[in-house]
Amino acid sequence: MGQGDGNRMVVWHADFLRIIFANLCVCTSLYMFLPVVPACMGPVQLGGAAAAWLPFVAFAAGACLPAPFCNFWLDAYRRKSVALWALACLVAATALFLLDLPYYGKWLARMAQGASYGVFQIAVGSTLLLDLSDTRKRTEAAHVYYWFARLALVFGPLAGVMLPLYHGAEAFSAVAVGLQVCAFLLLSGLRVPFRAPLEPSLFTFDRFWLPRGFRLFVPLFGVCLVAGLLMGRHCGAGFCVFLGVGFWLALWLHRCVFRERLQRELACGFCSLVVAALLLSCPLADERWLWVVAVFLGCGLGWTTSRYLLSYIRICEHCERGTAQSSYMLGWDMGLLAGFSCSAGLWGGGTQACSTYIILGLCAATGLFHFLCVKPWYMQNKRK
C-alpha cells in the first residue's frame, strides 16, 4: 500500500471515530429525556396519560415531518453543512428546556428536537457514514455505529435519572446541551470530499423509508416497544449499568458463537426478552434480581436489533443502503419512545400481573410474526 493510500486510511479512521462518538453524544443527550420527559414538559391539563403520550407524539411527528425533504437537502447542499445545521437546531431546541416556557412552548421544543434529530440521523448515519467508509467495510461500519447508539441507551437514562436527583433540572438540560455541542465540534472536523450538487426531487422518501422493509420494521418496533416497557418500569442506576453488561454479553456471543447463525440468534434474543419479562413479574424481586432482568434484556435487545440491521442491509439494493439504515433507526427510536410512553400507564394502579401478561403477549406475537411471516419472506428476498 502506497503512502497516499495509507494517509487516506488514517483520515477515514479518524473521521469514522468522529462520526460514531458524535452519534453517541447526540443519542445519549436525547435518551436522557426518556425517563423524565413528562416532568420536563410541565403541567398538562389532559391528565397523566396525555403527559406520557404527547411528548412521544411531538417527537415522532417532528422526526417524520422534515424527512421527505432530506434527500433534496443532502444532494443540493454540502452534506456536512446539513448535518451541522441539524445539530445547531438540536442544541437550540434542547437549550429551550433551560427556560421557563409555557407548556405549549415545550411541546414545540420537543417537536423541534425530533425534527433536528431525524435530519441528523439521515445526514450522518445514512449518508456521511457511507460516504466516508470503504465499500467493502460499510456493513461493519454500520454495525459499529448502531452499537454505539445502543450504548447510549445505557448512558442516557442513567444520566437522566441521576442528574435531576442530585443536581437539579438545570444541570440536566445543561449536560444535554453540552453533549450536543461536543457532537457539533466533532463533526466540524470532518474532511468530506467535494461533490458537485445534483438536482433531486424536492419531496421523496429516499434516505428515509424503505417500503419493502415493512415486514422487518414490525418486529423491530415490537422488540423495542417491549424494551421500552421494561425499562420504563425500572430505570435506576443499577439497572442501566447491568443493561450495559447484557449488551456486552450479546456482542461477545455474537462475535464468538453465533456469527452467521442469524435465525438462531434471533430466537435466543426473543427467548431472552421473555425471560426478562417473567423475572420482572417475580413477587420476590429486589434490586439485585432486577439486575438479572437487565442483563437478559440487554442480551435480547442486542441480539435481535443487531440482526434486524443486517437483515435490512441484505434486502436492499446497493443504492438503498442509506434508506434501509434510516428505516432501521426509525423502528429503534419509535419503539423505545412508545414503550417508555406506555409504561407510565401500564405499570400503574396495581396492574403488575396484567402488565406482565401484556408484555409476554407482545413478545410471543412479535416472535411468531417473525418466524411465520418474516423469515420465509426474508430467505427468498435477501441478497448475498
Grid coordinates representing 180 are 450536543
Q: How many CB atoms lie within 10 A of CB 245?
A: 15
pTM above 0.75, yes or no: yes
Instruction: Quote the distance between the C-alpha of residue 372 and its chain's center.
Output: 26
251, three cell numbers: 456482542
Per-residue pLDDT, 175: 92
Burial label for 197, CB within 10 Å (0-12, 13-18, 19+), is exposed
Q: How far apart are CA 84 and CA 89, in angstroms?
A: 9
Q: In this predicted structure, what is the pLDDT of residue 39?
A: 65
Residue 7 carries which side chain, given as an amino acid letter? Answer: N
Q: What is the pLDDT of residue 286?
A: 63
Angular region, 47: left φ>0, alpha ψ -120 to 50, beta rest:
left
pLDDT of residue 354: 67
Residue that has been written with the C-alpha cell 445519549 in this structure = 28
Longest dimension (CA), the chain: 68
pLDDT for res 6: 41
Rounded to whole angstroms, the Cα distance separating 42 from 103 reads 6
d(CA 261, CA 276): 23
Listed residue (353, 18, 365) closest to 188, CA to CA: 18
> CB-hemisphere CA count at 13 Å for 186?
21
* The predicted structure's pLDDT at residue 130: 86
Q: What is the chain's pLDDT, residue by residue, as a tens digit (384 residues)?
A: 343 444 444 445 788 889 999 999 999 999 988 887 766 665 544 455 556 677 788 888 899 999 889 888 888 888 899 999 999 999 999 998 888 777 778 888 889 999 999 999 999 988 898 888 877 888 888 889 999 999 999 999 898 888 877 777 778 888 999 999 999 999 998 887 766 566 777 778 778 888 888 999 999 999 999 998 888 877 778 888 999 999 999 988 888 877 777 788 888 889 999 888 888 777 655 667 788 888 999 999 999 999 999 899 988 887 788 899 999 999 999 999 888 888 766 655 445 666 778 888 888 899 899 999 998 999 888 875
Long-range contacts of residues 286-292, Cβ cutoff 8 Å, at least 24 apart: 287/236, 287/238, 290/234, 290/236, 290/238, 290/239, 291/238, 291/239, 291/241, 291/242, 292/242
Rounded to an integer, what distance in angstroms lies between the CA atom of residue 196 and that of residue 217? 34
pLDDT of amino acid 52: 65
Residue 343: its pLDDT value, please? Answer: 78
pLDDT of residue 3: 39
Is 43 buried (19+), middle (13-18) or exposed (0-12) by CB count in 10 A? exposed
Three cell numbers, residue 384: 448475498
